[in-house]
Amino acid sequence: MGRFTSVKTQAASVPPLQTQGPRLPNPYANAKFLIKAPFALVGFLIAILANRLFPQIADVAVTDYEFPSGFILNMNEAYELVLLGLILLYLIAGVYSWFDPDRRAKYLNRVPFRFAMGLALTAWDILGTKLLMLPQPFFPGPARIIESFLMEGDYILQNTLYSLRLFAVGFFVGVVVGVGTGILIGWFARVYYWVFPVLKLTGVIPAVAWMPFALTLFPTPFSAASFLIVICAWFPVAFATARGITSTPKSHFEVARTLGAKTSYLVFHVAIPHAIPNIFTGISTANGFAFTTLVMAEMMGQPGGLGYYINASKVWSAYYKVFASILVMAILFSLIMWAIGAVQGRVLRWQKGLIHE
């Protein structure tokens, strides 16, 4: 649940309709913002300057990479470009936040962290690349990690897309099957009796335990891994959905019945809407399981994917590539979670201001 905290706090800050009033501009608050906000960028600026100005003392090769367009880039330049990208990103976010007091407050709240992130990168860069003081080859500097993308960006992209495809197929099918099973279990006492115990028992088994069967029973490694993701998403979603359906207050059904509702209406317009918050809880649990299953499956016999890339790089002790893969995972999985959170916020907008933490 903790994963969606940010969505909820955001929701809680929306006041009920009646208490919403006009917002008056506060010039003092604006001045405070102007003074504090730039520190979000200053940390990264320091990181760029450190990379530029700090001499390369340790013996590290700085290779030039030529792109098909004739463009030439070394790892330090690429790293600085990434930092510049971050500065631009937070600059745009700052300008966007400027116009709204809530967003301004949120932005200011994050300034210290972003500043510290810049300083941490600076320290890492100096210790990791310039002085080579961290244990090698396990802890390369940030520029080295970025270098992986210069060396084989296409290949990383290819593996990323493989992971994404695997995740999309497995997770989508898993959620759909999970919601379907959950509804049947929650609605029909008989299905509950026969299926729920089975679900409870098999639900605790980590999906990768089925790997040997999956690999022999499915025609391709891709379908085998999809199957594992399907079952790992299936159980938590089915569980949560069933709980949401069975916990629907009797009074909701009675209200609907006095209004002329028949069974199908009770299922689709009373029980299921009531279960939607539970379904999203299930989906967020499933999401975490699915990432784990995805990477483990890829590390144990897939022809591609970010997990495969980690394994392949490890063999050559190319730990900077391992880190590159981890970085891509962090970004990709965060984006997926953000997207699911956005859908959730949209679907559950009737809860805005209802849930307080």
Q: Which is nearer to other proteins, 16 or 70 (CB)?
A: 16
Task: Indicate which single residue of 103, 106, 165, 352 sits in contact with other proteins (rule: CB under 8 A).
Answer: 352
Minimal distance, residue 259 CB to other proteins, in Å: 4
Our finding on whether 17 is near other proteins (CB under 8 A) is yes
Q: Which is nearer to other proteins, 113 or 350 (CB)?
A: 350
Cα dist from 82 to 44, 118, 143, 272, whole Å: 10, 12, 10, 45
Task: Indicate which single residue of 101, 153, 180, 273 sits in contact with other proteins (rule: CB under 8 A).
Answer: 273
Tokens describing residue 152: 């084989």
Cα dist from 97 to 10, 103, 135, 268, 344, whole Å: 15, 5, 41, 40, 23
Our finding on whether 16 is near other proteins (CB under 8 A) is yes
Our finding on whether 267 is near other proteins (CB under 8 A) is no
Q: Which is nearer to other proteins, 102 or 254 (CB)?
A: 254
DSSP 139-203: S--HHHHHHHHHHHHHHHHHHHHHHHHHHHHHHHHHHHHHHHHHHHHHH-HHHHHHHHHHHHHHH
Nearest to 228 by CA among 272, 176, 291, 184: 291
Cα dist from 249 to 179, 191, 253, 254, 266, whole Å: 20, 20, 7, 9, 12
Minimal distance, residue 332 CB to other proteins, in Å: 32
Our finding on whether 183 is near other proteins (CB under 8 A) is no
Per CB under 8 A, the segment of 55-63, 145-153, 268-276, 303-311 that binds other proteins is 268-276
Our finding on whether 23 is near other proteins (CB under 8 A) is no
Instruction: Name residues contacting other proteins, limited to 227-256 (CB under 8 A).
Output: 251-252, 254-256
| Footprint of other proteins (CB under 8 A) | 16-18, 251-252, 254-262, 265, 269-270, 273-274, 276, 350-354
